[in-house]
A = this chain, B = another copy of it.
Amino acid sequence: MKIRSYTYEEYIDMVKSFHGYAAPGMVIGGFMVDLAYQHLPKEGLFDSVSETPACLPDAIQLLTPCTIGNGWLRVIDTGRFALILYEKTQGEGIRVFLDPARLPAWPEIKSWYLKLKPKKEQDFQLLIEQIKQAGSSIYGVQRVKVKPQLITGKKHRNEFTICPSCGESYPVDDGEICRGCAGASPCTVSETLVN
């Protein structure tokens, strides 16, 4: 059993190192990324979308060149356990999702996926075993075209300016003050430290 160019065991080691533990969603994510590549052209530059912030972004970041910080992976939260890999200039690609209709044969996966019982009542070993046995049979695969705003075009060079409120740099298109000062800041400052 291979996940991209890795053995299953190699992939699990990578997951533990990056994600912190061998989460079921990461094992599933490995199969999903591998399956997407099976249906993509052999050559090409692919961007990606994860439709959930849970687990799948990390499977994509481990198994593709796409990361959040390099801009080739976006999280667009639809609440669904699905990912898309697509050719970045045309937007055509493959969407893979965990398909509830295929889960009746795999009760532990179904129970985990639909959160039918609390985590402490789940049988982790059985769950992982079922994910491995199910292989690619539990996923739906679709040929898709992403929306135009996700397709890489000519780069617009943002202009930056200094926010008169906080003194930090921000994109001038955001308005007269930065979005942080306009209410989006995730925190309040209690002390400025000497550095």
Contacts and interface: CB of A to CB of B under 8 A. Distances in A.
B114 A169 contact: yes
A191 B145 CA distance: 10
Contact of A139 (B93, B166, B195): B195
Interface residues of A, number: 89
Contacts of A99: 167-168
Contacts of A166: 80
A37 to B, nearest CB: 13
Given A26-B69, A67-B18, A114-B169, A191 B143 contact: yes
A58 to B, nearest CB: 3
Interface string A88-130: 0000111101111100000000000111001000000000000
A192 B142 contact: yes
12 contacts: A23-B70, A51-B186, A53-B69, A53-B71, A57-B68, A78-B170, A81-B169, A98-B169, A100-B167, A114-B169, A141-B193, A147-B188
